[in-house]
Each structure stands twice: as structure tokens, then as C-alpha cells.
Amino acid sequence: MAPHAEIDKSSSDRAGNVGNDHEGSSSFRKELFTVKSPNVVYTEKEVLTKYTYRTTSVTRDDTGDYTVTPRETQYDFKFDRNVPKVGVMLVGWGGNNGTTVTAGIIANRRGLVWDTREGPRNANYYGSVVMGSTMKLGTDAKTQRDVNIPFHNVLPMVHPNDLVIGGWDISSLNLSDAMDRAAVLEPTLKMQVKKEMATMTPLPSIYYPDFIASNQGDRADNIINGSVACMGHVDHIRQDIRDFKRVNNLDKVIVQWTANTERFADVVAGVNDTADNLLKAIEEGQAEIAPSTIFAVACILENAPFINGSPQNTFVPGAIDLAERYGAFIGGDDFKSGQTKMKSALVEFLINAGIKVTSIASYNHLGNNDGKNLSEQKQFRSKEISKSNVVDDMVDANNVLYKDGEHPDHTVVIKYMPAVGDNKRALDEYYAEIFLGGHQTISIFNVCEDSLLASPLIIDLVLITEVMTRIQWKASSNDGSATAYQGFHSVLSILSYMLKAPLTPPGTPVVNALAKQRAALTNIFRACVGLEPESDMSLEHKLF
């Protein structure tokens, strides 16, 4: 595989990025397996598959009886095997997550080892679904045991070591100094990446004081002129993306918001409720347009996928409408890394076990800048909303336990405690009703190294989003008439596994159950290579 083209250092430094200058590429271009099936065709550039999608349609008559009808729909999938050169631009690049993910990619790229008081540690991608987990491929023909392969080998994917990273921040600190400010990484690791990160400086960003906590003002020394929305800000961000793509000779750029939590924007008729109204409101300088929405609009117009990793309502109806109009990919909201991921897994387990959860009390305190920003009520309210809705679909799915709109009591508390830094303390109590009026209480104390959990999710979101740009599908035509391939809906609900408040296409249900989210991800990947969803019936072991 040919090495990357050499990057013009002077230009790339101005654009604010870390590239990949090592010889060769780590991209997973060659498939680990081939599928032997009349429904799968491999060409030099593509995998073409015919896929039968099986669902069950249910109707209910006036007497309350159900009629259940199995349905089959034939689809053609086309997957581009070509792995592009990809850049990721982070909004909030100089924050805890931005500096941690950048240092982590450098450490992995260079294969670093560093000393800690617990012994030497090696660079890895633990915590990443793509890089750290496996997927069942099938059953070994000889031993009848499961064959599991790394998730990143299911489809040809970009390797995170090959990502070119840049971004924006309201703080002008170079990434080495910002990494010290974040106080996340071991000093012995920081010393090995310090020189390289000192050469990286974020691009100026947008700062609208009304949307983030007032205690963030002392960081805002690297801002684009103007304190309210304007089309000039959209154009500025679009030009930054173009420059970054050109200077680094990139095929694609993916943008993620990993900056401070904003307050919720009011959805106002005539302002941000439709695409046309949103664009007009930006031109008029309306005050209810958030910085994150400006970034989203710029990315949509530039056809650069945009993912919101914070809990605010970046994707007001007008932004979703605009993305649908341009066929641009968006995803959100709020990274799901520690406490909420545990909650969505545990509540799903309890309810599926027939145990009625009646109250959930979640408390956490943290001392990083995220906690400082959330110490103001408007920003906390955004987080409270994203953390409070994560059990709704699981409760709604069980009308045996929950009747007539019943719902568990659910409260969320977040406190800023500077002394604990990035080591967030999360305490959860689950109170449940069991057999014959008895009760069960489960208490969990979870110490989450916040940025070390979130950074692998940033990587996953980039890698999976990129793959989705290479998948096209169409309904098979029985009469032989031609139908056109199309991409997935602009709202990438497949990203839900990594996000607390999954954004879904308008009018479609939100799925928070972790197992369902993971199954959707793996089964779409399997469909791209012509494989059915893996059955766990294991009949071959049960029928003799």
C-alpha cells in the first residue's frame, strides 16, 4: 500500500491539525473473509449483495385480538470497498476530550509504552467498539464452536491511526498546554507526545456567551468576531473545512462537537423550525441560534458529516430539515460513556427479567471543565434531559409491568467538585418491586475516568459514520425495472450505541436499549456482505 502524500507542514500547521506521517497505512483495506453465496458479488471496487429483510407486521381488531403477518422485503446493497483518507475536525479540540483523543492516536500510531506506578502501559484502543470488540461471524464447520472476529474486520474501514485531526477552540492554548490543563493523562505519557502536540493550535471558534456558562469567559481568547449568529460565521467554518481538506489532501472530513454543553435553544416558529426559516434567522442575526447549530449548518452545506457529542438541542427542526434537503449526514446527541451506558444496560436487563423498576436516582460529581460548565442551571438542564430519557423505550415495551402511562421516578443530580478532576464519581440507586410486593435495591458506585471513556467513542463515531458514507441500497424490483441506489437517511440513528440521546429521523421511535442498538449496528454491517442476522437459537446443539 502506498504511503500518504507528504503534507505541506507550514500550511497544515496553519490549518491546525495532526496528520499521519508514518510510512504506509493501517487502513483495513483487505477483507478478512469472503462470503460464498449466489447473493454476493465482489468487484474490484464494490461488494454487491442481495438481502432479504424479514419483519413481522401486527394488526389489532376491535375485540383486541392480534393478527401477525411475517413480511419479507428484498434489498440490494452496494458497499464501496475503497478506504478513503479521512480527516476529523473537533469543535472544542483544546478541551479534555479533544486533547485526550489526539494524544491517544499519537500514542497508538507510535506504539508508545510509558511507566506508571502500576507498571508499564501500552497504547491501545480499549473502550472502542470498532477497535476493541468482536462480532460473531458464524460457527466453525469442524468444531461447531463460535467464530468471532474483530469488529473492524467486518468491513474495510479507516484505521484511527490514519486519521488526520484538527479543529477549533475558543481557547488559544496549543494542545500540549491544553493537555496539561486537562490533567487527564499520565505525566510519563504526556512527556512522549508533548513536542508533537505543542505544534498544534486550534483554529478560532464561535463564542456566543448566552449559550455556555459565564464561568467559561476567561478561556475565550481565540474567537471569530461576532457574538450572535450570522452567515459570515457559517461561511468562515465552511472555509476552514475546505482549507483543512485541501491542505491535507483528504477525501472526506467529519466534524464532531466535543465542546461545552450549551443551554437548550428555544424552538421558535419562523426562526428555527424549518430549513428556510433557520437560514433566514442566521442571516438576520437572530439570538436564538446556538454556536453548535451554526457548525451543523456549515457542515450540512459543505456535505461534511456532523456529530453532536453534547446534550443540547443542536439539531433544531430547521437543522434536520436542512440536512434532509442536502442529503447530509448528522448524528447526536451526547456521548454515552459511563453512568448512562450502565443505566441503559441494567434497566434493560431488569425489565426483561420481569422486575419492575420503580425509581432511579442518579448522582454524580466531577471536577473537570465539563463539570464547571454544568454548574450553571441552564447548561445542567440540557444534561439532565439527555440523561433522564434513556429508559423510556424499555418501560414502554413492557405493558405487563407498566400500565396506563406508569413510569419509574427518575432524578439526576450533577455537582461540580474541582478536587476529583476528570475522575467522575457516579452513584446510582435502582429501587424495584419484585414477587409478592417485595423490593430489591441495587446501588452502584462507578468511578469513571471521563475523557478516557469518551475518547474511544469519538473515534467510533468517526469510523462508523465514514463507513455509512460508503453504503448504498435499493429495494429489489421484481419486474426487472430499474431503481436507483440511495444512501441512508440523513439522521444516522445507527450511531445510537455511542450516544445518550439518540437522534432519529422525524416520526421514528427512539431506541435506548443497549442490546438493540448493538444489534442494529452489527446487522447492518452483516447485510453489507450478504450475511443474515446471527441467530442465537443454536439449534445445531439442541436437535439430535
By residue count, the chain amounts to 544
Q: Please tell me which residue in 383, 387, 422, 428 is annotated as part of the active site.
A: 383
E strand or H helix at 342: helix 339-352
**CB neighbours of 320 closer than 8 A, spacing ≥ 6?**
330, 490, 491, 503, 506
Report the C-alpha gap between 463 and 474 in whole angstroms.
23
280 is catalytic: no
273 upstream amide cis, omega within 30 of 0: no
Q: Please tell me which residue in 162, 424, 428, 450 is annotated as part of the active site.
A: 424
Residue 75 bridge partners (DSSP)? 51, 475
Q: Which grid coordinates are listed for 490? A: 440523513
Report the C-alpha gap between 382 and 450 in whole angstroms.
18
Cβ atoms of 339 and 448 within 8 Å: the answer is yes
Report the C-alpha gap between 362 and 188 in whole angstroms.
35
Nearest Cα to 332, choosing from 207, 487, 496, 470? 496
383 is catalytic: yes
Q: Please tell me which residue in 162, 321, 333, 334 is annotated as part of the active site.
A: 334
Q: How far, CA to CA in Å, does 323 sit from each of 19, 256, 299?
A: 29, 15, 9
Report the C-alpha gap between 31 and 47 in whole angstroms.
11
Please give the order of strands across the beta sheet that includes 423-433.
Answer: 409-416, 356-366, 423-433, 439-449
45 is catalytic: no
Nearest Cα to 202, choosing from 93, 309, 291? 93
85 is catalytic: no
E strand or H helix at 348: helix 339-352
Report the C-alpha gap between 102 and 90 in whole angstroms.
10
Known catalytic residues?
A: 334, 383, 424, 500
